[in-house]
């Protein structure tokens, strides 16, 4: 009887062990399948990126110079400045966390020479619901743009396609996460003497031209008549919830990210382009932490009180904070020097 029970126990344990081996084998097979799919996806992704690089390799471009430091100290405050080699362009930036607990503003300044033409890129990226989307734009948007095969020949098309492709890439990179953050993007791209300003969201770019403040972008708000019509035409709703919001959630009508609202909240930029002439004095790009409390005319007036653009950018962020802005505040000021005397003095 004892032997019989002992044999029965051995048989049960052997069956259990066999089942566990089968389970482990199935898990290994599943892991191998996932690994194969991941490798295949990575290989396709690298091939796609390589094609982008190869497509742009016909342009004789110099190195892309990142004007900004690799990292800011703690996201609480940062400022700096840069001047072009010929002295005809200088810029300054200032960024403060302000009264927010976390920093969701990012910014980027890059310069390069492509086919003998000087290219400068300036960008403000204001995150919402988290900082990942804004950080992704800082890391990828301008590099993707300069790799576009038509960047120099059809810059407006390149900007439009790069904005939307970068948005799709970001959403793809976050597809397995539980985050659903988004970001604005207001960028100014200077190709030689031609300026392209592209905007998605409620960050803003203005220019001082002949002493007057002229907006080069229009905020994407859900209650803008054309934006409301577009959203409702796509099956969405615009509701009042403290302010006008898409689906009662998002207080802007265009943005990068925001997967749950992507059908209505697009990343297609509105683009203005114009030639730089002698009347162009200053370019100001900023997140809505500035524009919520500093009107366009005030921003130009304050910027003109400082000779150096870094000092001007700092004055603007400090003014916004003093006036009660409750948001992160980030600003870039670009100064144009049209004659050799001012270029030398700047």
Contact 303, 283 (CB under 8 A): no
| Cross-strand pairs, 280 | 209
At 253-267, the pLDDT tens digits run: 999 999 999 999 999
Domain residue extents for the chain? 1-57, 63-220+255-345
Residues 273-313 pLDDT 10s: 999 999 999 999 999 999 999 999 999 999 999 999 999 99
Question: What are the backbone dihedrals phi and psi of residue 43, each rounded to the nearest 5 degrees, phi first?
Answer: -65, -40
Is the separation of the CB atoms in 187 and 160 below 8 Å?
A: no
- Per-residue pLDDT band at 70 (split at 50, 70, 90): very low
3-state SS assignment for residue 304: helix
Domain formed by 63-220+255-345, architecture: 4-Layer Sandwich (3.60)
105's tokens: 């503003």
The SS3 assignment for 254 reads strand
Q: In this model, does residue 92 exceed pLDDT 70?
A: yes
pLDDT cut 90: percent of the chain above it: 71
pTM of the model: 0.79
Q: Which residue has the tokens 């980030």?
A: 330
Integer CA distances (angstroms), 84 to 54, 107, 108, 280, in order: 28, 19, 16, 17
Longest dimension (CA), the chain: 109
Structure-token match 């799709």, residue found: 168
**CA gap 135, 144 in Å, rounded:** 14
| 94 CA to centre of own chain | 17
Mind spelling out the 3-state secondary structure of 97-164? CCCCCCCCEEEEEEEEEECCEEEEEEEEEEEECCCHHHHHHHHHHHHHHHHCCCCCCCHHHHHHHHHH
**pLDDT tens, residue by residue, 226-235:** 999 999 999 9
Q: What are phi and psi of 263, to 5 degrees?
A: -60, -30
Q: Given this model, what pLDDT does residue 85 score? A: 86
Q: CA 137, 138, 143 angle in degrees (round to 5)?
A: 85
How many CA within 13 A on the CB side of residue 342?
A: 12
Q: pLDDT category, 104, cuts 50, 70, 90?
A: very high
């Amino acid at each position: 009887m004892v032997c019989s029970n002992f044999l029965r126990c051995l048989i049960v344990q052997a069956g259990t062990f066999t089942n566990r081996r089968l389970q482990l084998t199935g898990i290994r097979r599943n892991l191998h399948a996932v690994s194969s799919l991941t490798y295949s996806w990575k290989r396709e992704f690298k091939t796609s990126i390589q094609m982008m690089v190869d497509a742009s390799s016909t342009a004789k471009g110099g190195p892309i110079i990142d004007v900004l430091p690799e990292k800011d100290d703690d996201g609480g405050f940062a400022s700096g400045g840069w001047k072009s080699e010929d002295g005809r362009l200088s810029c300054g930036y200032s960024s403060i966390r302000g009264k927010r607990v976390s920093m969701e503003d990012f910014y980027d300044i890059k310069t390069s020479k492509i086919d003998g033409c000087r290219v400068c890129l300036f960008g403000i990226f204001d995150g919402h619901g988290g900082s990942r989307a804004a950080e992704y734009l800082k890391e990828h948007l301008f590099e993707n743009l300069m790799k576009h095969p038509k960047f120099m020949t059809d810059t407006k098309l390149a900007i439009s396609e790069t904005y939307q492709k970068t948005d799709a890439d970001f959403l793809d990179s976050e597809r397995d996460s539980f985050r659903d953050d988004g970001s604005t993007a207001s960028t100014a791209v200077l190709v030689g003497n031609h300026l392209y300003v592209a905007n998605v969201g409620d960050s803003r770019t203005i220019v001082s031209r002949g002493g007057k403040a002229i907006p080069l972008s229009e905020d994407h708000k859900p209650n803008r008549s054309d934006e409301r019509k577009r959203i409702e035409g796509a099956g969405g709703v615009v509701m009042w919830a403290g302010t006008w919001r898409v689906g009662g959630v998002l207080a802007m009508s265009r943005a990068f990210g925001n997967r749950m609202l992507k059908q209505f909240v697009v990343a297609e930029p509105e683009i203005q382009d114009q030639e730089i002439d002698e009347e162009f004095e200053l370019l100001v790009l900023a997140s809505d932490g500035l524009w919520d409390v500093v009107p366009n005319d005030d921003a130009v007036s304050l910027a003109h009180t400082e000779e150096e653009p870094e000092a001007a950018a700092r004055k603007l962020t400090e003014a916004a904070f003093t006036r009660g802005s409750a948001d992160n505040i980030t600003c870039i000021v670009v100064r144009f020097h049209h004659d050799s005397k001012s270029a030398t003095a700047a």
